[in-house]
Structure 1
Amino acid sequence: MGAPGTTKFQIDLRRHLRERKVERRLREVICEIAEASKYIINSIRTGDLGVAGTSNLYGEEQLALDVLSDRILQKRLKNSGVVSNVVSEENNEIINFECTNKVCYSVAYDPLDGSSLVDVNLAVGTIISIYEGDNILQCGRNQAAAMYILYGPRTTLVYSTGDGVHEFGMNQLMEYTLVKENVTIDKVGGIYSPGGQRNLYTSGTEAFVRSLEEKGHKLRYSGGFVPDINQILMKGRGIFMYPHLQGRPDGKLRLLYELNPMAFLIEQAGGAASTGSKPILDIDPEGIDDCSPVFIGCREDVALAESFIAQE
């Protein structure tokens, strides 16, 4: 590898944030989350994979790793002094902190998305949404930053503060160093990741999927939201969907913890994210448990999905 590549890999996360002129306290929030991920990685590698014995507000059985990851993140953000409140997929209320700074942030997160995949050794991740101020119930377009951390064969961190999408990899010293700046995706993709039971698809979604298959799109679905979105971003093509279903018009994925941060990242990379009729980032949340259908990825693929759904 030549000298330019060597220099690139020596840029760590904190330096990159500083050089991008990210607001100082926002840098602190992002770096606290990066530090917390190191403890989550260790928990995944060594922790108890059994059930914690409690349920989250959606009635899903919590794994011990869900609970532990939530506590790790919550503690780091509380002690940062720059976070006024947090809301986690694993809790049923917004948790307020004492923020001693003039500029404070609110954070919504899914501490361990896809945690049920850990015991079969598949990739999982942490998803983060950050807003300036103390109001977490804002439309996703107001996000100050969004990020995810993928715990796979490699541990990678992907973030955006509204100035492009940037990927970092964890090195042997457990430091995040720059892998790729300004990640972008094409207008049209060649892969699709379809969530939900296909026999429950509405007519428009079914017609859309058939059109993708007829064009030769390959099905690539891991069962984890973070690895599937990461695949689209890093391959630069594709579409993920968890649509409205018969009997489940709002889909499954949560707006605050999953859809808003991923939609922000995908849009920053040149893609699109839609409910099937409007941009995900334009939804005004009514509560912390809101869900929405989603079609997210290459712009033209998302637009095609909308056109089929409009004909239902």
Structure 2
Amino acid sequence: MSEPGKTKFQVDLRRHLRETGVEDNLTHLICEIAEASKYIIHSIRTGDLGVAGTSNLYGEKQLALDVLADRILRKRLDHSGVVVNMMSEEMDQIIPVSTDWEGKYSVAFDPLDGSSLVDVNLAVGTIVAIFPGYDLLRPGREQVAAIYILYGPRTTLVYSVGDGVYEFGMNNLMEYTLLREHITLKPKGNLYSPGGLRNQYTPGVENYVSTLEKRGVKLRYSGGFVPDINQVLLKGEGVFLYPHLKDLPRGKLRLLFELSPMAYLVEQAGGAASDGHQPILDLLPTQIHERAPVFIGCKDDVALAEEMLRTYEGKKDVPAEKGRSVKASG
């Protein structure tokens, strides 16, 4: 008898997508992203860990792996034949691919989230949000699929198209086979992963974290968004937070590339994701690299965060983020 949530049979990704009725173009797109990850993991294992000699739009030095992972994904998406627009966390513009958007998709992605952890051999990942048609600046609830790929001791792919959350593992032939299906979260967890400096926490966040600690919740934080969310999902419990801070009132993580796809996956697993006041998936981005605070994981733990913020801070106006207007290359 198989363990709960695990599959008994070796089913590859493409077969699984077809058998569960995923539309052909979306199946092709998800498989193209999976193919790209094979080249990214090879680059992580064998590639240059130094800087690329360039900076990203946040003024941070780009690692050679950041640039390479971005190029790999963009090339696969560009040649997939099913993508209208794409947008990378490493770029400052939407990249148009096709003027024919009927039956096609637009993709926002973080090619190598947590790349600064590679040189100390910690897990990193790729995060992808998929929207129907040509518009990317829309609430995360309008996604048709979300994916992350974790490059750790094992390479795994976790995805949802709105009918539950599935985990696939890369085997020794570099094929993804189904490991776990219908992943679910408990209402309340025993783990928390807190991002940001504690001395920058606001009163609501400080009281929230103190309440978790008094409850005996264990701190488990890797410094990487993908491995920490993966931990919450696969253990079936916990909460991750990168809140608004005194010096970062909008938090650190990007709404389109990081928060919306992860919120989609966590909600599909029965959890919740909030900026402290409303669901992440209901937030409408007004610019490409918009940030938001996040509390994501077990429903009751996220609801507790919202309650603490209401009690200790109320609803505060957050200063508008000075950023880049949306533009397309070409």
TM-score (structure 1 length as normaliser): 0.97
- Corresponding letter in the other structure for 1:293: P
Secondary structure at the residue paired with 1:8?
coil
| 1:254-293 aligned within 5 A | 254-293=254-293
| Counterpart position of 1:227 | 227
| Counterpart position of 1:84 | 84
| Counterpart position of 2:316 | none
The alpha carbon displacement at 1:6 in A equals 11
| Counterpart position of 2:307 | 307
| 1:34-183 aligned within 5 A | 34-98=34-98, 102-183=102-183
| 1:187-198 aligned within 5 A | 187-198=187-198
- Corresponding letter in the other structure for 1:71: R
1:82–1:100 contact (8 Å) kept in structure 2: no
Identity %: 68
Residues in 1 aligned to 2:101 and 2:213: alpha-carbon distance in whole angstroms: 53
Alignment of 1:244 with 2:244, yes or no, is yes
| Counterpart position of 2:294 | 294
| Counterpart position of 1:8 | 8
What count of residue pairs does the alignment treat as equivalent? 310
Residues in 2 aligned to 1:239 and 1:306: alpha-carbon distance in whole angstroms: 13
Q: 1:200-226 CA deviation, whole Å, 9 max, x = no partner?
A: 000000000000000000000000000
Decide whether aligned partners of structure 1 residues 191 and 46 sit closer, same or farther in structure 2, where only a CA change above 3 A counts.
same
2:6–2:179 contact (8 Å) kept in structure 1: no
Secondary structure at the residue paired with 2:136?
coil
What's the Cα RMSD here? 1.4
Residues in 1 aligned to 2:7 and 2:192: alpha-carbon distance in whole angstroms: 35
- Corresponding letter in the other structure for 2:163: D
Secondary structure at the residue paired with 1:59?
coil
Residues in 1 aligned to 2:244 and 2:102: alpha-carbon distance in whole angstroms: 41
TM-score (structure 2 length as normaliser): 0.92
Residues in 1 aligned to 2:6 and 2:202: alpha-carbon distance in whole angstroms: 50
Residues in 1 aligned to 2:254 and 2:80: alpha-carbon distance in whole angstroms: 26
The alpha carbon displacement at 1:300 in A equals 0.2
The alpha carbon displacement at 1:247 in A equals 2.3
Structure 2 stretches lacking a partner, 5+ long? 314-330
Secondary structure at the residue paired with 1:80?
coil
Secondary structure at the residue paired with 2:8?
helix
- Corresponding letter in the other structure for 2:111: P
The alpha carbon displacement at 1:14 in A equals 0.4
The alpha carbon displacement at 1:100 in A equals 5.4
Residues in 2 aligned to 1:256 and 1:8: alpha-carbon distance in whole angstroms: 35
Q: 1:120-178 CA deviation, whole Å, 9 max, x = no partner?
A: 00000000000000001110000010010000000000000000000000000000000
- Corresponding letter in the other structure for 1:270: G
